[in-house]
Amino acid sequence: MYSACVQEFTQWRDVARPLLSAGIAPEEMEWRVGRQFEPLISNGSAMPAAGPTSLRLSRQLIELLEAIGCYRHDGRWDLMYRLAWRTLRQPRLLEDAADPDVHHAMQMESAVNREVHKMHAFVRFREMADEHGEKKYYAWFEPGHDILRRGVAFFCKRFPNMEWMIATPDGAALWQNGELQFVETPDQATLPKADAHEGLWRTYYRNICNVSRINPPAMRREMPQRYWRNLPESVEIQTLLRDGQASFAQRQREATDMELAKARAMQRALADLPDHSGGPSACRRCDIWRHATQAVPGEGSTSATIMLVGEQPGDEEDLRGRPFVGPAGRVLDAALTTAGLERGELYITNAVKHFKWQPRGKRRLHQRPTTTEVAACNHWLDAEVSQVKPRIIVALGASALRALAGLTDSIESARRLQIPHASGAQIVCTYHPSAILRADPANAGQLRSRLVDDLRRARELAA
């Protein structure tokens, strides 16, 4: 066994070169984690000869390795060695982007290149005159990877006739008299705190933003929040978001149904609410909650292979807080027993978690949820599916089918289809038990036997 501890690409190269020439396999070499360079040592085996080597590595591979060397991850040196070792034996390895090592390497390379690009974009200089009145420019930047050296060449070409420093938590680059040096990180207190023209820049930023198009997720995707504290313009963001909200409210009133669910997601982003705040009972993704007692979550075995999905809780479920415990639940229980299924071994839930109703005399009469409401509630259904990971999902009725597969087919035709769910599970579609309650007595028997047949089919598919 061999081992070493390296901190940067050139050190890695010097350690790796003799090992590669000697044909030492990746499993024989341990790249230790540490903060200090430690040269190659061997544990029992002979040290590889240090002499000249005839290693030929392609330009493409070396560029890839240089990039990965900047990626902050303990496994980088090991992956680099493995890639080099394998490429020497399989020269066209890099063409195979589906190979796991190549895939990881490319992902790391693009993350590093992206970080370099963001450095070019987000470094902000502040001007400060020295004791002779000479203007100098200072920036404080916090990169996500070890890219200072890689990213700084750009600034040398762009600003050769200014004196500047880009300081990071891990060292600084200093450009003076046309020469670049790398120096220790200066005390942050010595860097300028403000700049005479930042006010103009903020004015520009505020006015170039079109608040009628407000879209904070797109902003955050390209300018993640971790950069904000070093960007002087970011102090304007909150005000612009508030202005945008007013304009957004207007837009929401005019949005089509299809856009509404997304619109709500946007609203949450604006309010900066955490996504899972308080579970379905605290959910305000649509307005049904206003008139319901409580959210009715699913129940049953979280390791179930079969999940049943109904439409929404009814009057009784709303009061009890449990699914399928009213009249329709009793029809379902009977059908399950006939089909040879144990309710306790299933997971049972609804597409919509709150009860939607309209008054009819003294009763609360079930009202069908709208597409928008079903879509808003999909969030919770998806969470349940990914927790339980069923193989078979039984869609009980049209609303469940719409929620699970986006289909609006009739149950009669949909129950003959093979429908995949986005999670990979298979959907079996059948009638909702309440359809049997509502059907006229002549048809009820037929519907009931179809429900049983479909449940039986689900049981067989899950077996």
Partner 1 sequence: MDLETKLAILADAAKYDASCASSGAPKRSAAPGKGMGSTTGMGICHSYTPDGRCVSLLKILLTNFCLYDCLYCINRRSSDIPRARFSAQEVVDLTLYFYRRNYIEGLFLSSGIIRNADYTMEQLVEVARTLREEHEFRGYIHLKTIPEASPELVEAAGRYADRLSVNIELPTREALTTLAPEKSDVSIKRAMGEIRLKLDEKADGGATAPRFSPAGQSTQLIVGADDSSDASIIETADTLYRSYKLRRIYYSAFSPIQRASARLPNRAPPLMREHRLYQADWLMRYYEFSVGELAQSMPGGKLDLSVDPKTTWALANRHQFPVDVNTADRHLLLRVPGLGVRVIDRIISSRRHRQLRYEDLKTLGATLKRARHFICTADYRPRQSDRSSDGLRRALIGAPEQQSLF
| 10-39 positions binding partner 1, by CB under 8 A | none
Tell which residue, 408, 320, 329, 311, has the closest CA to residue 366. Answer: 311
Per-residue exposure over 314-351, b if at least 16 CB sit within 10 Å of its own CB, e if not: bbebbbeebbbbbebbebbeebbeebebebeebbbbbb
- Which residue in the set 208, 271, 442, 463 belongs to the binding site for partner 1 (CB under 8 A)? 208
Determine if 219 is a binding residue for partner 1 (CB under 8 A).
Answer: yes
- Find the shortest distance in angstroms from Cβ 192 to partner 1: 11
Determine if 400 is a binding residue for partner 1 (CB under 8 A).
Answer: no
- Find the shortest distance in angstroms from Cβ 376 to partner 1: 12
- Which residue in the set 28, 38, 78, 233 belongs to the binding site for partner 1 (CB under 8 A)? 233
Beta-carbon contacts of residue 176 (< 8 Å; ≥ 6 apart)? 163
Determine if 231 is a binding residue for partner 1 (CB under 8 A).
Answer: yes
- Find the shortest distance in angstroms from Cβ 124 to partner 1: 6
| 302-361 positions binding partner 1, by CB under 8 A | none
Residue in the block written with tokens 């705040």:
277
Assess contact for 185 and 172: CB atoms under 8 A. yes
- Find the shortest distance in angstroms from Cβ 128 to partner 1: 12
| 78-97 positions binding partner 1, by CB under 8 A | 92, 95-97
Tell which residue, 196, 131, 201, 128, has the closest CA to residue 165. Answer: 128
- Which residue in the set 23, 39, 340, 420 belongs to the binding site for partner 1 (CB under 8 A)? 420
- Which residue in the set 79, 209, 292, 392 belongs to the binding site for partner 1 (CB under 8 A)? 209
Stretch that binds partner 1, among 71-79, 182-190, 229-237, 276-284 (CB under 8 A): 229-237
Q: How many CA atoms lie within 13 A of 71 on its CB side?
A: 24
Stretch that binds partner 1, among 45-53, 64-72, 218-226, 346-354 (CB under 8 A): 218-226
Size, binding site for partner 1 by CB under 8 A: 83
**Residue 55 or 200 with smaller CB distance to partner 1:** 200
- Which residue in the set 42, 142, 174, 201 belongs to the binding site for partner 1 (CB under 8 A)? 201
| 116-175 positions binding partner 1, by CB under 8 A | 117, 120-127, 137, 139, 154-155, 157-162
- Which residue in the set 136, 149, 206, 457 belongs to the binding site for partner 1 (CB under 8 A)? 206
Cα distance between residue 408 and residue 301, in whole Å? 29
**Residue 41 or 417 with smaller CB distance to partner 1:** 417
Q: Provide the H-helix boundaries in 74-208.
A: 76-89, 100-122, 148-158, 198-208
Determine if 449 is a binding residue for partner 1 (CB under 8 A).
Answer: no
Q: Is the dihedral of CA 146, 148, 149, 153 positive or negative?
A: positive
Stretch that binds partner 1, among 293-301, 348-356, 416-424, 455-463 (CB under 8 A): 416-424
DSSP-derived secondary structure for 321-348: T-SS-SHHHHHHHHHHHHHT--GGGSEE
Determine if 178 is a binding residue for partner 1 (CB under 8 A).
Answer: yes
Beta-carbon contacts of residue 180 (< 8 Å; ≥ 6 apart)? 152, 156, 173, 174
- Which residue in the set 22, 128, 174, 223 belongs to the binding site for partner 1 (CB under 8 A)? 223
- Find the shortest distance in angstroms from Cβ 244 to partner 1: 6
Chain-centroid distance, C-alpha 109: 19
The strand pairing partners of 419, in sequence order, are 427
Stretch that binds partner 1, among 36-44, 45-53, 236-244, 341-349 (CB under 8 A): 236-244
The strand pairing partners of 306, in sequence order, are 392
Tell which residue, 24, 27, 34, 35, has the closest CA to residue 78. Answer: 27
**Residue 367 or 423 with smaller CB distance to partner 1:** 423
| 247-286 positions binding partner 1, by CB under 8 A | 250-251, 254-255, 258-259, 262, 265-266, 269
- Find the shortest distance in angstroms from Cβ 139 to partner 1: 7
- Which residue in the set 184, 222, 272, 440 belongs to the binding site for partner 1 (CB under 8 A)? 222
**Residue 72 or 251 with smaller CB distance to partner 1:** 251
Residue in the block written with tokens 């390379």:
109
C-alpha distance from residue 426 to each of 137, 182, 307, 439, 452 (Å): 61, 59, 10, 28, 18
Residue 463 DSSP class: -
- Which residue in the set 312, 350, 378, 430 belongs to the binding site for partner 1 (CB under 8 A)? 378
